[in-house]
């Protein structure tokens, strides 16, 4: 499934660029693909949550202007140039702008099913666009693009990415990886307040890892690509929310909780894979050690159009270098 040709950078060396949680941001995805050339990476690894969270309806008015609706407020747009700029800006922030008639907007307001259908259609269209962009930029190179799903990703993206010409999409698999390593793929997350697409209980994670771990030949050369981070670490610390989804403050500061996977933490402590690549918690940007295992969450600030990532160099079965990146 993966690539075993020797790297131009030297025998035994593999340069990985890793990022996660792009959440539909067009500019972040383009930066991710272009990172192969910018950082001289041998392989691109995307850690899940490719897709965004909301549609921005833009209703055309009788006078030729447009009204865009965002966060409960309306924004008036005049002229094609202003419209094009607004659409581009929303796409770069991870939203899905939809230019529709005023009549269609009024119909959608009272039809949650139609809203969901529109959202899913726009999500899948962008995934197709991203797959085509990756093929255009990476075609003719020896740089693979490896991905797995996050908890926010619709199940329908699996087929699109599995069939994409230059994407190696995996879930619940252990695959041979460049340089004689293996990569374990486990997407989704533990339960969230938002009841997202792919959420699993701790008991289900026990079952998932029970299926995956016997496929690993040598833990010292295994890379865990697991969307959810290990529980109780810097990688999974995030603000506590109340029942209204508002941040809880204590002594004037945001209260913190841990939202990762306890099962994963236990498994890393017991089995000591070489490397853990994680995402999910956008605030959990850090590099830590759990025993001898290096675990990384590059974090995410996708609404700002900034790509946070990690450059990792493996050499002769060891981690030679790790750097968190931002740009």
Structure-model confidence comparison of residues 254 and 279, the more confident one: 279
Q: Largest alpha-carbon pair distance within the chain?
A: 67
Of 49, 67, 63, 274, nearest to 184 by C-alpha is: 274
User: Quick check: 48 pLDDT over 80?
Assistant: yes
**Contact predicate 142/5, CB 8 Å:** yes
Q: What pLDDT sits at residue 251?
A: 87
pLDDT single digits (tens) 102-111 = 999 999 999 9
User: What is the rounded CA–CA span in Å between residue 18 and residue 285?
Assistant: 13
User: For 229-236, what is the mean pLDDT?
Assistant: 98
In degrees, rounded to 5, the angle at the alpha carbon of residue 301 between the alpha carbons of residues 297 and 302 is 110
Q: How many angstroms separate the Cα of 319 from the Cα of each of 69, 78, 195, 274?
A: 48, 54, 36, 8
User: Quick check: 4 pLDDT over 80?
Assistant: no
User: Quick check: 3 pLDDT over 60?
Assistant: no
Confidence of residue 252 (pLDDT cuts 50, 70, 90): confident
Structure token pair of residue 70: 């965002």
User: Quick check: 182 pLDDT over 90?
Assistant: yes
**Contact predicate 192/53, CB 8 Å:** no
Beta strands 275-277; 293-297: pairing state? parallel
Lowest average pLDDT, out of 18-22, 67-71, 209-213, 269-273, goes to 67-71
Domains and CATH numbers, the chain: 14-53+119-326 (3.60.21.10), 55-112 (no CATH)
Confidence of residue 234 (pLDDT cuts 50, 70, 90): very high
**Contact predicate 97/85, CB 8 Å:** no
Lowest average pLDDT, out of 65-79, 87-101, 254-268, goes to 65-79
**DSSP string for 143-166:** --EEE---TTS-TTHHHHHHH-TT
Q: What pLDDT sits at residue 217?
A: 98
pTM score over 0.85: yes
User: Quick check: 1 pLDDT over 90?
Assistant: no
pLDDT single digits (tens) 6-32 = 444 344 799 999 999 999 999 999 999
User: Quick check: 192 pLDDT over 60?
Assistant: yes
The length of the chain, given as a count of residues: 327
Characterise 166 by phi-psi region: left (phi > 0), alpha (psi -120 to 50), beta (else): alpha
Average pLDDT in the chain:
94
pLDDT single digits (tens) 133-172 = 999 999 999 899 999 999 999 999 999 999 999 999 999 9
Confidence of residue 70 (pLDDT cuts 50, 70, 90): confident
Cα pseudo-dihedral 68, 74, 76, 77, rounded to 10: -20
User: What is the rounded CA–CA span in Å between residue 107 and residue 114?
Assistant: 9
Q: What pLDDT sits at residue 16?
A: 98
In degrees, rounded to 5, the angle at the alpha carbon of residue 323 between the alpha carbons of residues 318 and 327 is 145
Q: What pLDDT sits at residue 8?
A: 42
Q: What pLDDT sits at residue 71?
A: 78
Lowest average pLDDT, out of 15-24, 84-93, 235-244, goes to 235-244
User: What is the rounded CA–CA span in Å between residue 76 and residue 183?
Assistant: 48
User: What is the rounded CA–CA span in Å between residue 80 and residue 66?
Assistant: 10
Q: In the chain, helix, strand, coil percent, each to 5?
A: 30, 30, 35
């Amino acid at each position: 499934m993966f690539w075993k040709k020797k790297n131009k950078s030297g025998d035994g060396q593999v340069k990985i660029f890793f990022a996660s949680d792009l959440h539909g941001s067009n500019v972040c995805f383009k930066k991710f693909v272009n990172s192969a050339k910018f950082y001289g990476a041998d392989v691109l690894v995307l850690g899940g949550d490719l897709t965004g969270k909301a549609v921005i309806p833009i209703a055309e008015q009788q006078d030729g202007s447009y009204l865009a609706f965002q966060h409960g407020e309306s924004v008036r747009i005049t002229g094609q140039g202003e419209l094009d700029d607004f659409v581009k800006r929303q796409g770069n922030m991870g939203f899905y702008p939809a230019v529709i008639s005023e009549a269609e907007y009024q119909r959608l307001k009272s039809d949650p099913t139609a809203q969901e259908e529109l959202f899913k259609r726009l999500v899948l269209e962008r995934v197709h666009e991203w797959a085509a962009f990756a093929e255009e930029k990476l075609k003719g190179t020896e740089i693979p693009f490896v991905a797995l799903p996050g908890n926010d990703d619709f199940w329908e993206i699996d087929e699109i990415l599995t069939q994409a010409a230059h994407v190696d999409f995996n879930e619940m698999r252990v695959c041979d990886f460049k340089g004689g390593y293996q990569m374990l793929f486990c997407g989704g997350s533990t339960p969230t307040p938002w009841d997202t697409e792919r959420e699993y209980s701790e008991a289900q994670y026990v079952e998932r890892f029970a299926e995956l771990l016997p496929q690993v030949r040598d833990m010292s050369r295994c890379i865990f690509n697991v969307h959810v981070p290990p529980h109780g670490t810097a990688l999974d610390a995030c603000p506590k929310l109340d029942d209204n989804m508002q941040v809880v403050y204590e002594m004037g500061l945001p209260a913190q909780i841990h939202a990762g996977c306890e099962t994963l933490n236990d498994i890393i402590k017991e089995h000591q894979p070489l490397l853990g690549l994680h995402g999910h918690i956008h605030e959990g940007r850090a590099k830590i050690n759990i025993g001898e295992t290096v675990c990384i969450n590059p974090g995410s600030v996708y609404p700002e159009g900034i790509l946070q990532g990690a450059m990792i160099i493996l050499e002769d079965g060891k981690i030679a270098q790790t750097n968190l990146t931002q740009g």
